[in-house]
Amino acid sequence: MRVLVTGGAGYIGSVVAAQLLEAGHEVSVLDDLSTGHRDAVPAGCRLFEGGIRERGAEVLAETGAEAVLHFAARSVVPESVAHPERYWDGNLGCTLALLEAMRTHGVGRIVFSSTAAVYGEPESSPIPEDAPVRPGNPYGASKAAIDTALTEYARLHGIGAVSLRYFNVAGAYAGLGERHDPETHLIPIVLQVARGLRESVAVYGEDYPTADGSCVRDYIHVADLAEAHLLALDGCRPGEHRVFNLGNGTGFSVREVIDVCRKVTGHPVPAVSAERRPGDPATLVASSESARRELGWTPRRPELHRIVADAWEFHTGRTAADTAAG
């Protein structure tokens, strides 16, 4: 299939682009390179540099794309709290422009990067897809609004849409890993400490209602997440908007993650208590039963140790076996 990957120079988009190529698809990438990296776009993809509003319609026309996998977005929760307008414009506004471009050019399928952040502080755990959508920060709110738009585009214009609600993505695949600047995500920050690039990691809040007081998240390997996108692409049904949570169903606290990183890296990783970070829910753990049942998805790399080891290998260039051997 001819597919367009928006945000294909970013962390998750580049891994999905790589897997799409491996599966034999013809892959184009549209990315403004504001946070992505040119060298992350897998060889074999055609790269179009620019924004969705500026170039989306033109690129769809030129490539003859039959489907879009839409990753391009802002995705930092604390930034969204400080600058909500960036999220309404950059996430919702750009996606509406993309949907119109798709409609104009008769592109009938979209797989969208949604997020666990749409659920806010959930009532129960693990979270199923029919849990109330009550985002606790503008990032989650912008993604929830896009999900609503997708439902309407499917109902009224007949597109086939799948929203994948990611929990906490980590790890690396085929030399593609997380490279944000500045980095805000827990595992890459802890690994920066292990590499001697930071003195310590701050634990944001230790007074949450969790076993050890730090926040609990469901960490999923980026390669497993990517595999779900290929299944979702096949699972787009005209006139339907399908929604799936993607996680492993197991929660790890910030303190537990740091401990696993210590074991994988062999580094002591000093950790210091810090204030809560605005917008953080206490616990986010997925029920991915629907994705397993309806898409036939099985995460093949669910162990946190493996997820961290692959991230560590990416950051150090060492192999997981070397790491285990010290």
What tokens does 226 get? 């990517």
Q: Compose the 265-304 pattern: x for residues touching ligand UFG by CB under 6 A, - for all others.
A: ------------x--x---x--------------------
Residue closer to ligand UFG by CB (options 218, 313) is 218
Going from the C-alpha of 159 to that of each of 69, 105, 151, 153, 154, the distances in angstroms are 13, 12, 9, 6, 5
Residue closer to ligand UFG by CB (options 179, 217) is 217
Residue closer to ligand UFG by CB (options 223, 269) is 269
Q: Are strands 252-253 and 216-217 parallel, antiparallel or unpaired?
A: antiparallel
Question: Minimum Å distance from CB 46 to ligand UFG?
Answer: 27
Residue closer to ligand UFG by CB (options 78, 239) is 78
- Using only the alpha carbons of the chain, give its radius of gyration: 19
State the Cα–Cα distance between residues 256 and 272, nearest whole angstrom. Answer: 14
Residue 147 sits in the site that holds ligand UFG (CB under 6 A): no
Question: Minimum Å distance from CB 115 to ligand UFG?
Answer: 4
Question: Minimum Å distance from CB 42 to ligand UFG?
Answer: 22
State the Cα–Cα distance between residues 280 and 217, nearest whole angstrom. Answer: 10
Identify each DSSP E strand in the chain by its residue range.
2-6, 26-31, 46-49, 67-70, 109-115, 160-166, 168-170, 201-204, 216-217, 219-221, 241-246, 252-253, 271-274, 283-284
What's the start-to-end Cα distance of the chain, in Å?
Answer: 44
Question: Minimum Å distance from CB 281 to ligand UFG?
Answer: 8
85: Cα within 13 Å, side-chain hemisphere: 0
Residue 201 sits in the site that holds ligand UFG (CB under 6 A): yes
Scanning the structure block, which residue is given the tokens 């961290």? 308
Applying the rule CB under 6 A, the residues between 73 and 132 that interact with ligand UFG are 75, 77, 115-117
Selected range binding ligand UFG among 58-66, 101-109, 155-163, 195-203, rule: CB under 6 A: 195-203
Binding residue count for ligand UFG, defined by CB under 6 A = 21
Residue 221 sits in the site that holds ligand UFG (CB under 6 A): no
From the list 254, 261, 269, 311, which residue makes contact with ligand UFG (rule: CB under 6 A)? 254
State the Cα–Cα distance between residues 48 and 237, nearest whole angstrom. Answer: 28
Question: Could you say which of 139, 173, 208, 219 is catalytic?
Answer: 139
Which residues pair with residue 87 across a beta bridge? none
Residue 179 sits in the site that holds ligand UFG (CB under 6 A): no
Alpha carbon 321 to chain centroid, angstroms:
27
Which residues pair with residue 113 across a beta bridge? 164
Whether 173 sits among the annotated catalytic residues: the reply is no
- Rule CB under 6 A: which residues touch ligand UFG? 75, 77, 115-117, 167-168, 184-186, 189, 201-204, 215, 217, 254, 277, 280, 284
- Would you name the residues annotated as active-site residues? 139
